[in-house]
Amino acid sequence: MGELSRPRLNLSMAADGVGLVEIDSPPINALDLELYGEISMLVNTLEAMSEIRVVVFASKHPTIFVAGADLKKTQATGFTRAATSERLDRANLAFLRLQRLGKPTVAAIDGHALGGGCEFLLSMDFRFMRRGAPRIGLPEAALGLLPGAGGTQRLARLVGRMRAADLMMLARRIDADEAERIGLVTSACDDARSAAFAYAQRLALMPSSSIRWIKTCLNDGYDGDLPRGLAVERIAALETFTAAEAAEGVEAFLEKRPPRFHEA
């Protein structure tokens, strides 16, 4: 238990408005019940920190982002329905909480992100992946399993049903360039961390209220029918149009000056 008491998601301020979460769970950043709980607690912390407007996720380990579920622990606790149900519930709660965080999340993928590691990334808004050795995918079918922490649903929504079926049914592990081509990652790049931070700093300049409500519209309206989506959007528009940031944005536009969204 001593090892598990050490935080494995380390939060720091990386730049003005940008927080950095480094995943540090050697040797392969494997996911387990404790780490799922830590993800949920981290989201609560991030929501409360107004000084953080954008969050970058990266790994302390150069060859692994998150390798997936800890299969040794899974085997040790057994494949009973009760044990499996607890793992699935913890994972789904953590990833859904992360997806619904009211601040943009940006991943810097410098190493492999497979299985649960890929599902973790699918809960984020933007993904920058290093070209070369790193691979991303949901290869659970090769073990007689399937992605059970949102993978089948989020991947299909992101890249389409046919491509998602191809990746999952053949247990494919793809590189950054193919991942970019099919829309699984935002960009394939030579330096994922630098690209992620540059993007995050651009996002941090944007008005927080607009960004939060855009995420709400996408989370709550995109997968439903159009009338529901429009209803969600109307609520969001009422909130943003009457916020102080909207008044500043319009005033700055009319005065032909940069807006001052985050000045004290």
Per-residue pLDDT of the chain (264 residues; tens, 9 = 90+): 344 457 799 999 999 999 999 999 988 999 999 999 999 999 999 999 999 999 999 999 989 999 887 777 777 777 788 888 999 999 999 999 999 999 999 999 999 999 999 999 999 999 999 999 999 999 999 999 999 999 999 999 999 999 999 999 999 999 999 999 999 999 999 999 999 999 999 999 999 999 999 999 999 988 888 999 999 999 999 999 888 888 888 999 999 999 989 875
Residue spans per domain, the chain: 3-204, 208-254
Active-site residue identified among 140, 239, 245, 263? 140
Active-site residue identified among 22, 34, 86, 119? 119
Which conformational region is residue 11 in: left (phi greater than 0), alpha (psi within -120 to 50 degrees), or beta? Answer: beta
Active site residue 140: yes
Q: What is the CATH number of domain 3-204?
A: 3.90.226.10
Active site residue 263: no
Cα angle 237-242-245, degrees, rounded to a multiple of 5:
100
